[in-house]
A and B are shown apart, each in its own frame.
Chain A
Amino acid sequence: MFEGPVQRLIDELGRLPGIGQKTAQRLAFHLVTVDDADARRLGQAVLDMRDQVGFCSRCFNVAAAEECAICRDPRRDTSIVCVVERPQDIVVVERTQEFRGRYHVLGGALSPIHGVGPGQLHIDELKQRIPDEGITEIIAATNPTVEGDTTAMYLAREFKPAGVKVTRLASGLPVGGDLDYADELTLGRALVGRSEL
């Protein structure tokens, strides 16, 4: 519809989550008119991120080094690990300032419809971490959805026999949504009031 490179940018922006056709157009035309330096800085930031950021070898959080900043932080309690579906869920839990342990990112939730079973999630890696780090409690902070619930139950059945306490966030979270629908206060309360599965 527009000049080749502009349309290409609109198409790429439009593929981002939460960005529709109209927003993509607005952003693209904004970038056409801003200072050259500003546009280049954005491009460079994307490239740098791709070059320098990978996944933490321990917890699968995003990391600019072999391990993420949280895993490298010596003040973190290594006996308790908060299990989430996606790296962005870590940010949500961190904002509550109620949690001082480490994380583990599963990379999704059980969903046979999408061909996701335990083998497709980072569950074996979590199993490894338990003796290595002396983990005694797993908080299953998967989304309050059918798939998230089921994944939490799976973790309980998998890890309780090994003597690990598996807890789930207390209710009060908006059901059926993502973790990031919850405001900090609600999520903070849910963390404190978690119950054993």
Chain B
Amino acid sequence: MAVDDRFTQDSRETGEDEVLGTRSEIITGPVSDWATDFSHLEPEWSADPYPIQDDLRQRCPIAHTGRFGGAWLPTRYEDVAAIAYDTERFSSRSIILSNFRPPRELAPIGGSPPISSDPPFHHDARKLLLPAFTKNAVARQEPATRAFCHSLVDSFAGRDVVDAAYDYAQHIPMRVIANMLGFPPEDGPQFREFVEDLLEGINLPPDERIERVSRLFDYLLAQVNDHLDQPRDDLTTYLINAELYGNKLDPSHVIGTMALLLIAGIDTTWSAIGASLWHLAKTPGDRERLVAEPGLLPTATEEFLRAYAPVTMARLVKEDMHWHGVDMKADDWILLSFPAANRDPAQFDQAAEVVIDRQVNRHAAFGLGIHRCVGSHLARMELRVALEVWLDRIPAFTLADRGAVTWSAGQIRGPRTLPLRIG
């Protein structure tokens, strides 16, 4: 068998993408007016973005900022949906809004296919992943996920207060995705650093940001080489062997997709589990009802996903255009807020309320259109199991210290410190 030499040379050393991209001035500090100067990285947004979004939806439904080199924030469901569906005019070549725009030549593949890919390449790259993430495929992870959730609760023995974000929520998706990718389960703490580097270090100086992101790619390259030496039945070996158009994947495609699965699989679900427990801790009526009527869990989890949707994506405007009343310029960012769409009263009755038995819930927490979250079935399984085990083992819990709760900054929003009183 021929030696697979795709991964012997670091593909980053041959690419010049970083050089060719566009950097914009880093602007931080308090927001003067959310309609003209918004920033999803400021503490006010992390703490509670919903009043800001509700206000913007009323008075300026497509807000603008000069930060990040120029960006737009639509807050109406219909505008968010229209952009998600319009891959002709909005590119996914970077889906994390930052002060660095990758070069146009990066499309249609992008750095982490298929989330960063545009048609027609997107369809083929996505097709490679879909079979591994069907509802039936992810059901195979359920027994181990449930056992792991129980082991986390076991570890709370003797404690009156636990951090549900740090001690529970974060570990569940880390363990599941490490298992699916075939990474050592004890590497979890490193994954947390990778997530923070990639998704929260947006306003760091570019060189520092590149260095941090490099750590992730070094780790993934080491995992690929380990799998080349010892192939096994997991997603990493699958991606190494996968073929597209009759050839094995480019090394940058393999590593980029692994980065996507690792990063997108962790803090999103961690956030959804944490936000759900936060809601139940501060809303005794909903908690008691859910414990008494476990049959409500399916509608309740969908409602938590709607009301506390963790994920906001980004797009880049392809060409100058007048769009829904505003003048967008080529390479303007779009902050595509599924959380804001999910709270649009034009789309949802009682949009600002959490209604755990909501029967009709056409929310967009997993996106809309061709980029529907490929891991949505996995995320739903993890969220359901995490809540089932928690509510079964710890039916009574409250916020231990309302003021101590912290939320992540940036496009993925969820509790990062969540002290709950369980005893």
A and B, one complex? no
Chain B residues packing against A (C-beta within 8 Å): none
Chain A residues packing against B (C-beta within 8 Å): none
